[in-house]
Structure 1
């Protein structure tokens, strides 16, 4: 006997009961992929501050987790993404290359260390970027790291002035100093004195600096005496020493940049390591090492830290820029300017603008640890005012002697 089909009313009742039963079933497990919370986007400005302060950015706003590279993301892509985000917020005088090196110095993991002969507390360290560590790149030898441009020099806490010098160099458009940041280190590879919480400068290690083979004069790319240097400046020829390859391509404008930079910072070690341009205190190294006595015989005076890179032999490289922030104005060393009859136009224009202090403050904010170590803008002002006064003295020096400025060539 065949069954009769249910009436329409009965079908409606059955359908309602089925829907009611489904509504009370427990939820199915969620098998969809979930992104970890660390993949949340971070505002470019916050990311710059985080990276340049070694991952310790301080802010009154609730902190967001930092961006971390995914396992399948090449580290180069991650760095490029960071640089593109940072450039829009960084001052225009800091190049993309500057920011990349500053990021490496500020946040790179220390993977090796080497003592630098005859340089006391200076350590050369190999660095790995965050992306390199996460994709499992194994550390190479220290020499290979440095040849790849992934090394830095950690200096003494008293050398933090070198980081200010780097920013001054970029603000003035000289672009001859090596990138530098301030950082606190925690690596177990370093001696305790480096990990005790003190802030130290770390300067990028240029792998192609040209050094003389003479072990007694290896901090120069060429041997140049004071009398030779003055003769070269007066002769208006680009070659200071005939047949000396490393210095034969250094144009006169490079010495003008160096003189201006050293005068503002009062760095004596390059052009006047004997302190012949002022009366030094008895505690000065040039007195203790009896170098000052040689001022009576100019033929014995030599220039030190005159360096170029093999990749750009026409440009001087400014190293060891920890000048003298407290050097009194009555003892300013004008010997550093001797023989210089013209100065770079862009740098002079910046000094004349009256904005030197504000530009330096804008640049120094990029280095969060250094910025906060001095108490922010108010803490930095006395030091920047000293440099600004030296700038006005230099401008008066240029005006009184009717010296000229020259147009800067592309760097």
Structure 2
């Protein structure tokens, strides 16, 4: 017969009275113990630092696993090592997996200011009634001197010298945001940062706060303007015939300091011509619409400018601007262009006299990836992206730009034009 457990240890079974006494003493001791700390499910090891309970370890990246000798699919490792993969998301671009490499840190900083900066003062721009210049204060900025309700000085320089101002433009100018991204994708880097935004500041007129999406363009504080009130949108006065003469390859660039636009090299005009052709911007090189037959509703017809095409000596260029800090680099402004301009009326006059184009831009046009690169870039601007219906909504517009790119490439081939290597910035 099996022995009872108590007998195996040679101990006598405890008496019932003794058991009761022991239980009473245990209960008394428990009532005098200090209370356990809140949320302390398990005691931390003595060596563990204070802090919240440890979460499950994050999975290793492909690079970490590869360094530890673990097997990693080659495709995953190459994907994580691709250029630009390490740049983090924040603010404006928080929904984008990776920041495109063609956008600089300075671009992103200005885009964040434009997209979320608080409007602290405003002013009208002379001779531009539908454009408002505003001063912005970014989160974390010192609010001293930025009391809401201020009005900016009449001078464009005023208190915008620190680069904290922007131009709010008309809803119809929204394509300036696309133009900015196109400029960066092509490596031209001559347009000013631009984002789409809805405004609610009480400082602005109701027409600016009615919920309509508007572009806001960074205000470059050192743009060089002529003193002539009738020609203040130029840094230098340049006629069409002078411009064509400057483009002649067998003629040296003018060196006289007082010559119009003497500091601007031919390569800058090539960038401008390529950019304007893709967007069909006529207001710089052909504000008279001499390169196509305009509709009666075109401003060049309404303002009777088209009639001057018969006398080239009367034609002048507009919006030819440089910055005082970089007088040899053009600044592209008013870039909305004409996205609906018909293909049969493309303005080839914009390319007249141009003998070569920047290699980086031409390579992007030839890559067959222009649309996908633009989508990758435009995704950063969530307001524009959502208002246009995302990739599907933007696709028709990008297809138009891509078709113009193919026509430009055919023009380059048919005329045996060349490309030049140049620094993209």
Coarse TM-score class (shorter-chain normalised)? 0.7 to 0.9
Task: Give the structure 1 partner of residue 57 of structure 2.
Answer: none
Q: Distance in 2 between matches of 1:391 and 1:278?
A: 18
| Superposition pairs of residues 12-411 of structure 1, within 5 angstroms | 17=28, 20-23=31-34, 48=90, 50-51=91-92, 89-132=98-141, 136-139=143-146, 142=152, 145-236=159-250, 239=253, 242-244=256-258, 247-411=261-425
Task: Pick the structure with greater CA Rg.
Answer: 2
Determine if contact 2:224/2:323 at 8 Å carries over to the other structure. Answer: yes
SS at match of 1:122: strand
Q: Which moved more, 1:364-373 or 1:18-27?
A: 18-27
| RMSD of Structure 2 on Structure 1 (CA) | 2.8
Q: Tell me, what secondary structure is at the counterpart of 2:419? A: strand
How far apart are 1:22 and its partner, in Å? 3.9
Contact 2:240 2:317 in 1 (8 A): yes
Q: Distance in 2 between matches of 1:17 and 1:250?
A: 94
Report Cα offsets for 1:127-152 as digits up to 9, x if no partner. Answer: 000111xx544417735541000000
The residue matched to 2:129 in structure 1 has which SS? coil
CA distance in 2, matches of 1:315, 1:284: 30
Q: Could you tell me how far apart the structure 2 residues matched to 1:386 and 1:364 are?
A: 16
C-alpha displacement of 1:409: 2.7
Q: Deviations over 1:336-382 (max 9, x none)?
A: 00000000000000000000000000000000010011100010010
TM-aligned CA distance change 1:195 to 1:240, over 3 Å:
farther
How far did residue 408 of structure 1 move?
Answer: 1.4
Cα distance in 1 for partners of 2:92, 2:328 equals 33
**Runs of 4+ more than 6 Å apart:** 13-16, 24-27
Once the 2 structures are TM-superposed, how far is the Cα of residue 19 of structure 1 from its aligned partner? 5.5
User: Which has a greater percent of helix?
Assistant: 1
**Does structure 1 conserve the Cα–Cα contact (< 8 Å) formed by 2:89 and 2:99?**
no
Task: Tell me by how many angstroms 1:23 deviates.
Answer: 3.9
SS state at 1:259 partner: helix
Distance 2:339 2:280 in 1: 8
Secondary structure of the corresponding residue to residue 160 of structure 2: helix
Mapped partners of 1:404, 1:26: distance in 2: 76
Report SS of the residue matched to 1:209.
coil
Contact 1:228 1:240 in 2 (8 A): no
- Post-superposition Cα deviations, 1:212-257, rounded to whole Å, max 9, x if no partner, equal 1111111000000000000110155564584337722211000000
DSSP 3-state at the match of 1:121? strand
Q: What CA distance in whole angstroms lies between the structure 2 residues aligned with 1:273 and 1:168?
A: 22
Deviation at 1:15, TM superposition (A): 10
Q: Are the equivalent residues in 2 in contact too, given 1:105–1:180 (CA < 8 A)?
A: yes
Distance in 2 (alpha carbons) for counterparts of 1:176 and 1:244 = 24
Q: Does the aligned pair in 1 maintain the 2:264–2:329 contact within 8 Å?
A: yes
Contact 1:266–1:327 (8 Å) recurs in 2: yes
Aligned residues: 354
The aligned counterpart of 1:65 is none
Q: Is this contact kept in 1: 2:92–2:382, CA < 8 A?
A: no
In the alignment, is the contact (CA less than 8 A) between 1:279 and 1:331 conserved in 2? yes
Q: Deviations over 1:65-89 (max 9, x none)?
A: xxxxxxxxxxxxxxxxxxxxx9x82
TM-score normalised by length of structure 2 = 0.77
**Structure 1 CA distance for aligned equivalents of residues 274 and 361 of structure 2:** 9
TM-score, scaled to structure 1: 0.80
Unaligned runs of 5+ in 2: 1-23, 39-50, 53-85
